[in-house]
Amino acid sequence: MSEHPNLQRMRMAYEAFDKGDLAALDDFWQPDVRWHEPGDNELSGTYEGRDAVLGLFARTMELTEGSFSVELLQACADDEHGLALVRLTGHRGDRHLSTLSAHIVRYSDGKVAEFWEAPTDQAAGDAFFG
């Protein structure tokens, strides 16, 4: 049985991020994508549009001295939704982050229309990015 096309695209998007190919990510999102980052830290908030999301990624890399990484552990997707279990890692000076998070997406026409970060340890993320 072959993978759902949205699951294939999800895997490709994580691979592109892992390689630092942020330009390739543009093909996986709707132009008006909404991206939700929870918590009470420098990166928290809702980002609207591709440019805003790419700005979030750039700021994340800046804060983590380019060390931020997202390791895809498990994923599933159908026509409307996707879910990925990931490990987030990085460092900021002497601070280190290694935590699990769920990434929840809503698809529209095969592209991500909305994204929610759902960390397992929000306090750790807030302390790291705070």
What is the identity of the amino acid at 61?
A: M
Please give the tally of structural domains in the chain.
1
pTM: 0.94
Sign of CA dihedral 120, 33, 21, 3: positive
Amino acid 65: pLDDT: 95
Amino acid 23: pLDDT: 87
In this structure, the dihedral spanned by the alpha carbons of residues 64, 106, 35 and 109, taken in order and rounded to 10 degrees, is 100
Alpha-helical segments (H) within 4-47: 5-19, 22-25
d(CA 129, CA 1): 41
pLDDT digits (tens, 9 = 90+) for 44-55: 999 999 999 999
d(CA 95, CA 4): 38
Give the side-chain half-sphere CA count within 13 A for 112: 30
Q: Are 89 and 71 in contact (CB under 8 A)?
A: yes
Amino acid 104: pLDDT: 98
For position 26, which CATH number holds? 3.10.450.50
- Residue 82 belongs to what domain range? 5-129
pLDDT in tens, the chain (130 residues): 689 999 999 999 999 999 989 889 889 999 999 999 999 999 999 999 999 999 999 999 999 999 999 999 999 999 999 999 999 999 999 999 999 999 999 999 999 999 999 999 999 999 999 8
